[in-house]
Chains A and B, each alone.
Chain A
Amino acid sequence: MNILETHHIIKDYADHRALDDVSVNIPKGSIFGLLGPNGAGKTSLIRIINQITGPDKGTILFDGVPLNENHIRRIGYLPEERGLYKKMKVGEQLLYLAQLKGLSKRDAMDKLKVWFTKFDIKTWWDKNVADLSKGMQQKVQFVSTVLHQPDLIILDEPFSGFDPINANLIRDEILELRKKGSTIIFSTHRMETVEELCDHIALIHKSKKVLDGPKSQIKEQFKTNTFFVEYRGALNGLENHFQVSNTRQLESGLTKSDIKLPVGHTANQLLQELLPHIEIYSFGENVPTMSDIFMKAVNEVPES
């Protein structure tokens, strides 16, 4: 069950093509990472989903139905460039934004009370937005994004501007929202958050989609079948088919090396091979990090 499907989206601007045949499926209830270098086309895709602009070719399905105006109230959007009306009061402004998303005033008030208590910001209601610090403003804007309990929440760099405590707060909220049934699309450069939170990812580079799938699957895909070993001693005389690379000295005095397993060989075989030569302190598989995957995927696309 996909909350959102984009089929063969093409988006052209005056001097370049922003999205070239992009098709993504966002499974319901997932936390979906939308990755890509700056200028890749992520923001264009997000704007199309938010119906801020339209695609030149291609279709979008929201919950199985072609995307239309009624879906606006079921989507929440936190743009990368944050902003609120500076001269308006916090409470008043949140009410206004909620009403624009289709909530009744009473409904919005009830929900706001819950969030203000949860975030412990009851005293902010009558404050002018301009009097709040940047982090405080972003907290307020986060509330405006999720207040109407949207089925699909799109967060563009949600953690930027937050100190670690507030970043944790937001992270917990994201997890809780997912628990309640919302789907979250996450656009970010901070790979450690992708590592931690996302279960699906898609990578867009130079207007094309280059990666798409569950995170575990993608990691599998990028596995180089390399293992690391921390040891004392020297790795000489290892069978030739075990490629040793990247031998370096650690602060602890140990040596660390990466060893690539050839096809058909198992980790056990490698261990058996190593045991006679060195004193092993640590051994494990080099699972590619999202950061590694990002750089590899981006560099592999030929310059057009």
Chain B
Amino acid sequence: MKNILLILRREYLVRVKKKSFIIMTFLAPLLLVGFYAAVIWIAIGSTEMKTVQVLDKSGLFATQFKDTDELKFKFITNSLDSAKAQFKSGEDNALVYIPENVLEDSEGVLIYAPKNVSLDLKSNIEKTIERQIEDIKLTEAGITRKVLEDSRVDVKSQTISLSDGGEKSSSSGAATAIGGICGFLIYISVFVYGTMVMRGVTEEKTSRIVEVIISSVKPYQLMLGKIIGVAMVGLTQFVLWILLTVILASGAGYIFKDQLGNDPQKMQAQMEQVQKGMPGGAMNPAVNAASGNDPANAVADILAAVGSLNLPYIIGCFLFYYLGGYLLYSALFGAVGAAVDNEADTQQFMLPITLPIVFSFVFAQMALRDPDGSLAFWTSIIPFTSPIVMMVRIPFGVPAWELALSMVLLVLGFIGTTWLAARIYRIGILMYGKKVNYKELAKWIFYKG
């Protein structure tokens, strides 16, 4: 036992003191927050006044184009040709031509610009014209704009989880987001830290230090010390990341509060613009689902929804599955490292180990959409896929017996793979020059030491 602790300590310190670890730990949150902050900053900063000339031959829009912070409309009355000539020699951004017969032929509107017209400007102009034409047509039909808007209803359902504990308001959006993030984190960690273990084992073989070490400790002690040591490294990095991201994000949020000021419409416009440019994946649909299509309230809604989920329970489960999944797979990675002589040969054994991990991720995506389906059920119970899939299901609520079964099987799973790996490890670390295949590995497993 003391040996395992000694080994664990060395494995941990050696990796945590490495420059690459320190840089990654501080760089990743910085990059993440910095990237988002930069985009928001630019979006806010770029208020460039654009001037648009409007040549309205129909006479219907004289009062319809409203100036905003970014757009200024100038009405002109020349003929089209002279307007075009004048525009070319001028500094304005665009020239809009509305033909006389626009009510009948809505496709006659022309927008001239020195370069391509931005979609925003185009849609702004189109919407304004549409709205006015609609109003005119409605008025002709005897309906006012107000009547039309009253008839529009924005249905926002509120999800409430009904269980033995009573009614609790829940949020599907937040559950999806959190489930997705957790699953993804476990997926990445198993790969990153699993291969860290594998490389450590192969390094010890190549440098031949392993023979000295196992004249002092038993092979399984070396293997376990390494696995647990790397687990600690992963947890450390993870905790530091969370802390740093939270600190940096609040700092950035504080700075931006001043910038955005009290203009909710401006903030809404900025947020929309930001969201459009954002690589977001599952996040954006979740954010939109969580709060309707009102980004300005998105953050508040998310926070409320997250609060409605049982955070300590989720975090506890996350830690369990994070560790369990890692332990299960890192033992196998370690066995591979012991079976080969150098890193290049590890490829042939990697496939059967990485396949279940990748499949877990795929099943997890499906489980996000149908958390209680039978696919989700089975893959959240089987130890090879459960760490990722069950984690994704948990924010949606999982019956206690299913969770218990999954956890017990996962524990049995990693005990099993650790036992198997130790049998391969004890022989593999002293074996050089032999071309190892699965038959050979099987021999090692059953060899009575």
Contacts and interface: CB of A to CB of B under 8 A. Distances in A.
B217 interface: yes
Which of B6, B7, B207, B210: most chain A Cβ within 10 A? B207
A100 B217 contact: yes
B209 A100 contact: no
Given A96-B10, A100-B3, A100-B6, A50 B207 contact: no
Given A53-B449, A96-B6, A99-B6, A83 B216 contact: no
A77 B215 CA distance: 7
Interface in B1-21: 3, 6-7, 10, 14
Contacts of A75: 215
Contacts of B7: 100
Contacts of B6: 96, 99-100
Contacts of B216: 72, 97, 100-101
B282 to A, nearest CB: 39
B398 interface: no
B208 A54 contact: no
Interface stretch (A84-92, A160-168, A191-199): A84-92
- Interface of A, secondary structure class, is loop
Interface size bracket, A side: 20 to 34
A225 B215 CA distance: 45
A79 B207 contact: no
A72 B216 CA distance: 6
Contacts, number: 57
Given A79-B208, A83-B208, A88-B14, A100 B213 contact: yes
Which of B212, B217, B430: most chain A Cβ within 10 A? B212
Contacts of A79: 208, 211-212, 215
B214 A52 contact: yes
Interface string B196-210: 000000011001111
A72 B215 contact: yes
Interface in B199-237: 203-204, 207-217
A47 B3 CA distance: 20
Contact of B211 (A52, A85, A100, A144): A52
A52 B7 CA distance: 18
A81 interface: yes
A234 interface: no
Nearest to A75: B215
A72 B3 CA distance: 12
Interface in A1-57: 14, 47, 50-54
A50 B209 contact: no
A82 interface: yes
B212 A77 contact: yes
28 contacts: A47-B430, A50-B215, A51-B215, A52-B215, A52-B430, A72-B215, A72-B216, A75-B215, A77-B212, A77-B215, A79-B212, A79-B215, A81-B208, A82-B208, A83-B208, A83-B210, A83-B212, A84-B207, A84-B212, A85-B204, A85-B209, A86-B203, A87-B14, A88-B14, A96-B6, A97-B212, A97-B216, A100-B3
Interface of B: 3, 6-7, 10, 14, 203-204, 207-217, 430, 443, 447, 449
